[in-house]
Structure 1
Amino acid sequence: MFSIPGQAPVTITPAAERQISRLMTGKDAFGLKIGLKKGGCAGMEYTMDMVAEADRADEVIEQNGARVLIAPTAQMFLFGTEIDYETGLLESGFKFRNPNVTDACGCGESVSFKLDHETGETVPEA
């Protein structure tokens, strides 16, 4: 994972911790796996699945009973992301506050990242 020693690659808010723990218990799962796939208006979409075990290359973050696994292909895109869970009158769900996102569609379901075409790494906004 692209990380700074002593700092988690993603952070999980208390609301997200509670929801992930509930899902883990309810589905008898090892954790919530987060990834990215091509699609949506802006180019990439987050994926989330409850999984029974971690793959060898997954980055595993454990925080207060909640376990998040990050798929290898998504690791460089998610570094520095805050994962939250918001409950509203019309909808409830996980929210990603990702500093690497350069654009998002109006509904917030898909995002895009600026990449260095030589290294394939995300490029910080100037």
Structure 2
Amino acid sequence: MMLKLNMIREKGFTVVELLAVLAILSIILSISIPSLRSVIAKSEEKACHANQQLIEEVYQRELLFVKFDLTFITYMIEHDLNQCPSKGLYTLKEEKVICSKHPREFKIEKPPSEVPWL
């Protein structure tokens, strides 16, 4: 009878084994969470830049073809487009949509110094 009780008790995990598993899981999580946050931040920034470009293009089209006197603020309120995925605010500066959290860098193309002749 005593032999059967010992066999039944040996089926579970010991406290040491459970603590070891918890320690390993905590190490894995502590390593993976910062990299996951950076991936999320980069994807939010890319989404914000895409939103900025899209808002810019659609606003310009609406100015040209629909409402000539539409202000940017009115347009943003009408379409509920005032925030980026990271809660940054969109504004219009020099005909470019800018986010308070994800400003875009605009490349200025320089004319070539020499024109190649064919």
- Aligning the two structures, in what range does the TM-score lie when normalised by the shorter sequence? under 0.3
Q: Larger helix proportion, structure 1 or 2?
A: 2
Q: Which of the pair has the greater relative contact order for Cα pairs under 8 Å at 6+ separation?
A: 1
Higher strand share: 1
TM-score normalised by structure 1 residue count = 0.18
